[in-house]
Amino acid sequence: MSLIARHLEANGIPTVIIGSGKDIVEHCGAPRFVFTDFPLGNPCGHPWAADMQRDIVGQALGLLKTAEAPRTTVTAPFAWKDDPDWRARYNLITPENRAQLAAIGEERRRTRAAAKQEREGAFAIRLGFPIC
């Protein structure tokens, strides 16, 4: 995203990135960046926390107007679920949970494969192709 933002900026389109990978985004030189100290995949905050998400997006839009220099980074004033130790547990694999996590992953792969097969079958039916 950072490199795309740089390309867009070079072509006259202002950008702002909201994200959690501060080291990566700053290394790539994103023009404007709102850093949220949240687990990856949650750049705008907690799921279903509309007020928090609205505030973070508002901060990003404000940064479009107020940034005075390239590579401007601001930090959103929120914590992840009032849990300062979330990083210690994030993606933690231990001997005790390895088998459980492997089983969850395998079930997810089976579910996604079945859903994909169902979508492909529905698509073939719509096109009038026989299902093999």
Query: Please, what are the averages of pLDDT over each run of 10 residues along the chain (132 residues)?
Result: 89 93 90 93 91 96 89 92 80 90 94 89 71 58
Domain co-membership, 77 together with 97:
no
Full-model pTM = 0.68
Domain co-membership, 59 together with 24:
yes
Boundaries of domain holding 123: 93-132
Task: Say how far residue 120 (Cα) sits from the centre of its chain.
Answer: 27
CA atoms within 13 Å, Cβ hemisphere of 115: 6
pLDDT of residue 69: 81
Residue 121 to residue 132: CA distance in whole angstroms: 9
pLDDT of residue 68: 83
Distance of CA 97 to CAs 89, 91, 101, 108, Å? 12, 11, 6, 16
Count of structural domains within the chain: 2
Domain co-membership, 13 together with 77:
yes
pLDDT of residue 70: 80
Closest CA to 64 of 17, 25, 23: 17
